[in-house]
Chain A
């Protein structure tokens, strides 16, 4: 017994002294000057954090355009994998990283970095720029200040397979309501087993149901009362139960890929974001698919007289520890402006800055559908934010996701699931 006590005391001493060391080390973290990457007068090397630099053409297009407009600035991409981008950025910033410009992959990440004080206030840039037509900017407003500026804005619309519509003798889905959409899905379903063609495909993300119903009913996803989801869930669960849409359990277990569903013509319709346009263009150009596709506006609620959908912007922010803050701000402004927008529209990415010229440039891309409906689909009346930004966003998101799964796999009834969402958000999120 005594021996054990002795040993414990000794262990305690070891731990205490090690903790002291650890403490000193971590306490010094993040505040050292480090050596500057910038060189003297004029010539500047601007570092920008990006993901998958080689395979994401928008970054290259932007950087080239910016370097051309600013010959004294060279851009050095800090290449991070898209998959766990925010994990690495979190670690880097904790370590006092000095990368000048940080790409904000989504607004949830943005609110986190901004609230921790890791991003520089760039309200002056936002105010001086012409932001009237800059979609998605309001998402970055935190108590009247801006810490990032969007350059890209993806929003949701309905992809459909013209061939399958023609075969079934149906009109293309112009201005349909959700009920009409469900009917179309029924009529477009055909075949069996491996040959089965589904009327529509709802990807496993919760936004497919929750964000669209929030946008179209004006419901608040952070509010704690989720009755406004009901109609959308009834439609979606009804479709999968009658076999007109791929079952959620199967889709999530098999990691069903929406590209696969649409490009192999296993589904006739698919609500999805505009980012997929460049993907499908590339697939067609490579001969990977022969689908004859078109775009339509998202289906609406029966009482709606305008086209409402939701979208998610992508933005650039300036690091609080940036070595070249001025050049960084210039880059952020450039990317959100006309020149930046034109550069990324040329590679098939939807810019945040909207103007008829840019839309024209976009539809001039090789392989874009040329019909009027697709063009209309590209100009919705209202684009709501996918998820409101606040301190609780991320926690609420987790809860909504978990309960969404339970409803979709049939573990909970729609009413129960929606009730639990409310209870959990009200009880667990402080």
Chain B
């Protein structure tokens, strides 16, 4: 459904699940034969397109896009937020490659994203499918599922840390009854602190993405399910062949957002482990904050942000392409 790679102005990007590709060449549907007419139409549709985008774009460009670009320019400079910046070329990037903190934070961030993205995706989808029915009390369950996202972060950190407590915590007591004699020390150990953070973050975010999936489920026409039933599909087959394909645009959105959010995770880690013990949960966003706002090395901090940006952008573009290929 999307088209990072298609030539601008070509038709047929957003086709319905089953229908034939649209035939119109131009947004107005009245395709015209002559070259000049075509150009006029492109010009017109450009105007129309921009008129839709502009109200949002002005606000976005002025106070988000411009500062972001300024930060990227700073990645090639040295700046302490007060004196005038000086050009240092690629120094900040060279420094990054010899910086142990960067390496640690980079690996930790990948670890976090690798755990958080798939687990949250599955949890959110399961919740949405289970809670997308007309049963009594469904409102309560939906609200409950959303509650982790609105519970105070301090409460989240305290309670989860308590659950993970190495000696007195219920998690380890449960593991011990299962016969595991030497359960992990979770947030008090360097090996298990990141898994503990991932579990907590999945718990916290699943309700958020459930909301997106719930909205997505409403767009799947009931007729598709009827048709599948007539064909004798069981519940699992209906899920696999009707629900999942119908949710593809939402899933794409959820995956991209999850990727972005995991790569810039900060708040939960700050209150739960603050990067510790040692550097075992130090992540890139935290390093960006620390180097920039705290230490005043804004050039270096921006350079890390730029690297983070390119990693996420690459993954996003890959997802765009993958999504497109699957659709074709």
Contact = CB atoms under 8 A, between A and B. Distances in A.
Interface of A: 3-4, 7, 15, 18-19, 21-23, 25-27, 30, 86-87, 90-91, 93-94, 112, 116-118, 247, 249-250, 252-255, 394-395, 398, 402-403, 405-406, 409-411, 424, 427-428
B245 interface: no
B66 A253 contact: no
A18 B65 CA distance: 8
Contact of A406 (B100, B162, B167, B190): B190
Nearest to B193: A409
Interface string B6-37: 11100000000000000000000000000000
B282 to A, nearest CB: 8
13 contacts: A3-B6, A3-B7, A22-B66, A23-B70, A93-B81, A117-B82, A250-B168, A254-B162, A402-B279, A405-B278, A406-B190, A411-B189, A427-B100
A18 B158 contact: no
Nearest to B74: A26
Contact of A428 (B5, B101, B157, B290): B101
Contacts of B101: 428
B82 A253 contact: no
Interface of B: 5-8, 61, 65-67, 69-70, 72-73, 80-84, 99-101, 154, 157-158, 161-162, 164-168, 185, 187-190, 275-279, 290, 293-296
A87 B158 contact: no
A23 B82 contact: no
A411 B66 contact: no
A253 B65 contact: no
A249 B81 contact: no
A21 B161 CA distance: 47
Contacts of A90: 81, 293, 296
A411 B190 contact: yes
Contacts of B158: 254-255
B20 to A, nearest CB: 25
Contacts of A249: 165-166, 185, 187-188
A405 B276 contact: yes
Given A94-B82, A250-B165, A402-B276, 7 more contacts: A15-B69, A18-B65, A94-B81, A252-B276, A405-B276, A405-B277, A405-B278
Contacts of B295: 112, 394-395
Contact of B188 (A25, A86, A117, A253): A253
B294 A22 contact: no
Q: Which of A26, A30, A410 is the most central at the interface, judged by chain B CB atoms within 10 Å of its CB?
A: A26
Contacts of B290: 398
A7 B8 contact: yes
Nearest to A193: B168
A249 B165 CA distance: 8
A246 B26 CA distance: 72
A118 B80 CA distance: 11
B277 A22 contact: no
Contacts of A3: 6-8
Given A18-B66, A18-B69, A23-B73, A403 B166 contact: no
A94 B275 CA distance: 27
A406 B278 contact: yes
A66 B4 CA distance: 65
A19 B81 contact: no
Contact of B83 (A19, A116, A398): A116
A93 B293 CA distance: 12
